[in-house]
Structure 1
């Protein structure tokens, strides 16, 4: 059995078996039942950041990247956000300025 530290996994890309990038690990979480999961930041098709949880038992391999079978293994969080183009910090969905560096966040224009 191999043990991993928080530093071993934070910042690693999560890839599915179809060679698609799913997201990047930002932290670890655990449940009241003692199960461990990775917290990922994913960018959805609208360009918004979605937080997702990846249970450790759904990981196929860990190395330079983390390999999972499919996105159906993820448990999504309902807290969307927007990524700062300058410092890559997650901000609240309705933020006008980045909470970390103060850069103005651009509104996405809807195409008609």
Structure 2
């Protein structure tokens, strides 16, 4: 069996989908550990419109094609940077941003629960 190699361009920008046909995120970049293991860095958007960067180890990928298929969201190893996604232009912003850095639209505040 021949080994398949992928370039950064082959995976960056692809959607990551779990086997339950739910979108997990979009590949943003590649990362590697000091042990030589490779992972994908994903932009994962939650139901509130906030984003997080997450690491997906390459060995957890089931298939790469038009999209990247994984078994479950639980395959994601770590969540890195929290933030907000602009509802107008979809630009990622810092978690404490009041306005979008790209288009200037006012970003929603998180509601405090009592």
Q: TM (normalized to structure 2)?
A: 0.86
Q: Gaps (5+ residues) in structure 2?
A: none
Provide the alpha-carbon RMSD of the alignment.
Answer: 1.9
Instruction: After TM superposition, list the pairs within 5 Å mapping 1:69-84 onto structure 2.
Output: 69-84=71-86
Q: Deviations over 1:80-112 (max 9, x none)?
A: 10012333221111001223343332335579x
Runs of 4+ in 1 over 3 A off after TM superposition: 100-103, 108-111
Provide, for residues 12-58 of structure 1, a one-character-per-residue CA deviation record: whole Å limited to 9, x for no partner: 00011111111111111111111110011111233211111000000
Deviates more, 1:61-70 or 1:81-90: 81-90
**Paired position in structure 1 for 2:41:** 39
Distance 1:16 1:39, change over 3 A: same
Helix, strand or coil for the counterpart of 1:80?
A: strand
Q: Distance in 2 between matches of 1:86 and 1:45?
A: 16
Aligned match for 1:28, one of 26, 30, 34? 30
Q: Structure 1 unaligned runs (5+)? A: none
> Aligned residue pairs: how many?
112
The corresponding residue for 1:19 is 21
User: Cα 1:78–1:26, aligned 2, differ >3 Å: closer, same or farther?
Assistant: closer
Which residue does 1:68 correspond to in 2? Answer: 70
